[in-house]
Amino acid sequence: MTPPVLRFDELDSTNAEARRRAEAGETGPLWITAERQSAGRGRRGRAWETGVGNLAATLLTCTDRPPAEAAQLSFVTALAVHDLVAAYAVPETVRLKWPNDVLLSGRKVAGILVESGARGDGRLWLAIGTGVNLATPPVAPERPAAALADHLAPGVLSAPSPESALQRLAEAFEQWAQTWRAGGFEPIRAAWTARAWGLDAPCTARLAKEEIHGVAEALEADGALRLRLPSGQVRRITAGDVVFGEG
């Protein structure tokens, strides 16, 4: 069974609505979706545009896992979004980019934003937000973006509606979350790595106070990106922006 869905014509952002409900004591699990977002957000406070026909949805839920483990749900979500997009596009063209982007033919087609907060009972509330460009890409993206409708597999006539996409996403998330609950992060790490883009390639990590160049070697056991520097030193990247290729 997938959680119920609460639908809105317009919100400031689905993550913001999840936060408001969590801070009012709601526990979920509950999917929140909106046809339009007036103030959609991505990582590091960036704006996220939700065009007509695209998906904006947030899962509100709670967990008794410690924050470091709960953060692994970002990778669980990425696998679910991969499954959604790959059901309509050529699967080999869909890749996952650290830490939480989904690429289609090398361009960003979806992003994930996980936010959390402490509850009075000691658990964490989680707002697991996903935006997928089903019908149209952003008008002026900071990086090249794609829409699923422009990259359909042969024989696929159209991209899914936001409603159909959310149903498929919710089902895939439940399946991957069950894998995570039963087996921990290792099967998630292995599945993510098999779908990853940029591993064993030159990588630039742009952190808050420095820029690091190296080769992205692997996703580590806690979700960090292992970067091999030209000196041979290894750096663990736990947060920041990464650019693969020449950077």
What the chain holds in terms of domains, given with CATH numbers, is 5-194 (3.30.930.10), 201-244 (2.30.30.100)
pLDDT digits (tens, 9 = 90+) for 125-139: 999 999 999 999 987
- Inform me whether the pLDDT recorded for 40 exceeds 70: no
pTM: 0.92
Q: CA separation (Å) from 38 to 100, 128, 204, 245? A: 22, 18, 32, 34
Higher pLDDT, residue 89 or 41: 89
Higher pLDDT, residue 54 or 42: 54
Contacts of residue 220, defined as CB under 8 A and 6 or more positions apart, other chains included, come to 226, 236
Mean of pLDDT values over 154-177: 98
pLDDT digits (tens, 9 = 90+) for 3-17: 999 999 999 999 999
The alpha helices in 24-72, defined as continuous H runs, are 67-70
CA pair distance 219, 4, nearest whole angstrom:
33
Contacts of residue 160, defined as CB under 8 A and 6 or more positions apart, other chains included, come to 88, 134, 148, 168
- Inform me whether the pLDDT recorded for 247 exceeds 90: no
With bands split at pLDDT 50, 70 and 90, how would you rate the model's confidence at 244? confident
Contacts of residue 78, defined as CB under 8 A and 6 or more positions apart, other chains included, come to 96, 100, 102, 112, 192
CA pair distance 112, 106, nearest whole angstrom:
17
Query: What one-character DSSP code corresponds to residue 174?
Result: H
Report the candidate in 244, 241, 223, 215 with the shortest Cα–Cα distance to residue 79: 223
What are residue 32's DSSP bridge partners? 6, 58
Mean of pLDDT values over 235-244: 89
Name the token pair of 58: 């947030």
Higher pLDDT, residue 74 or 240: 74
Q: Which backbone phi and psi does 188 adopt, to 5 degrees?
A: -70, -45
CA pair distance 115, 87, nearest whole angstrom:
27
Q: Which backbone phi and psi does 187 adopt, to 5 degrees?
A: -65, -30
